[in-house]
Structure 1
């Protein structure tokens, strides 16, 4: 007699099924009025720049005030990026595909719940980069030592990749994918990615970061330029051709 084992649906599948029942529910957004979850998700994907930042920040504020539906819209907006990032982070390689996606969804929740509310611009980029930070945590002292032995590109490449939001694929998700790929291929160390994110998206000035690291401002800028050059070269010769 054979025995049949039923596999539980993946977290992504469960969330998408849940969203199918929640998407039509109206959410009170205050001044902008009431909108369904599906309408808000479409607005996130169809807007960019200041308009998108304002909408995302509004949903984050509503979530902090206890509006679980607003948080759920944000999570649904981050699911595609979470799925892509999950396949790129080397630290999750030993896990099954569904489990990797589950970890990435957890990182998306953490990114939403811990978002620093004073950051009101490039909100989607910040949310996406925070997901990557949770999935690739701070490096050890030894990793930082290795990262210090680096070699220096214009800001043009990263500015191009992290430009305005486009529905599919999003620049923010592409940038996160690229950084995760660079770590996985050992083109960049985690410490270098962390520094790049901190200098590009964090609230600290370059002068403050340099002082924290015991570098001159010019030394920090040179290090960032070297990291960007290696990333740019690898992206153009390997990543885009993959």
Structure 2
């Protein structure tokens, strides 16, 4: 908790020193100080808030930074409520947990899907939580390899997809765990990947790649292929080879494959 407070203090001190009392161009809000812009945000209806989000997506860095400050509590709340981030806290990686949450929020502000015209705050939270889930799934194989836990304990602790639904009537800054999350495909994938790393059926890098691919969108899979110097077909073939190898190892061990293949 102390680490999170220090990080938040640093962000808040930066805001206070560089933005709160300094006039900047806040788009259609005009030339105002950061404090004055936050006052406008506090009273903004959804259409106006969407307009400010659009300013951030268009590259207005002053609006972008102000929105990060305004919604910062959303990222902090995710650290306390999303299981993947809580797990990082539990092994002493509080800084990493909050970094993931804040980075996910910041990237979501910059790339907000403008075609969504209603419930700006809810959509912002949903997109942030999706990014958190993907970040956790990419990092977890390495973290699992470094921790000395039993075969399936960690998977129970790392699932963050349970935060992908905001309960009806919930405060927009809150993330409510989903009651059925432990039976989701994502947790099955992570159980299998954990087992694969710990039994040396798959290297950490291979498990990381399979975790990234499994949780990625179509666009992200194209980007992943490009990073690896492959085309989409080449990456798909590589993934299928990994899946078949893993399926054989699981079958020989008498373990169900779950949702991975």
Instruction: Please state which band the TM-score falls in when normalised by the shorter chain.
Output: 0.5 to 0.7
Partner of 1:109: 106
Partner of 2:77: 84
Partner of 2:22: 25
- Secondary structure in 2 matching 1:172: coil
Return closer, same or farther for 1:189/1:118 CA change in 2, 3 Å cut-off.
same
Question: For the Cα contact (< 8 Å) 2:27–2:60, is it kept in 1?
Answer: no
Distance 2:108 2:98 in 1: 15
- Secondary structure in 1 matching 2:88: coil
> How is 1:54-73 mapped onto 2 (pairs within 5 angstroms)?
54-73=47-66
Distance 2:28 2:109 in 1: 22
> What's the TM-score, normalizing by structure 1?
0.53
Question: What displacement does 1:134 show?
Answer: 0.9
Question: For the Cα contact (< 8 Å) 2:76–2:101, is it kept in 1?
Answer: yes
Question: What displacement does 1:63 show?
Answer: 2.2
Return closer, same or farther for 1:45/1:188 CA change in 2, 3 Å cut-off.
farther
Match of 2:12 among 16, 21, 31: 16
Question: What displacement does 1:187 show?
Answer: 5.5
Count residues with an aligned counterpart.
151
Indicate the RMSD between aligned Cα atoms, in angstroms: 3.2
Question: For the Cα contact (< 8 Å) 2:27–2:55, is it kept in 1?
Answer: no
- Secondary structure in 2 matching 1:58: helix
Question: What displacement does 1:85 show?
Answer: 0.8
Distance 1:121 1:27 in 2: 28
Return closer, same or farther for 1:118/1:87 CA change in 2, 3 Å cut-off.
same
Distance 1:127 1:16 in 2: 21
Q: Which runs of no fewer than 5 residues in structure 2 stay unpaired?
A: 138-165, 188-261
- Secondary structure in 1 matching 2:173: helix
Bigger-Rg structure (1/2): 2
Question: What displacement does 1:79 show?
Answer: 0.7
Structure with a larger share of its residues in helix: 2
Return closer, same or farther for 1:14/1:131 CA change in 2, 3 Å cut-off.
same
* Structure showing greater relative contact order (alpha-carbon pairs closer than 8 Å, 6 or more residues apart): 1
Question: What displacement does 1:43 show?
Answer: 2.6
Partner of 1:160: 169
Return closer, same or farther for 1:32/1:19 CA change in 2, 3 Å cut-off.
closer
* Residue 189 (str. 1) matches residue 184 (str. 2): yes
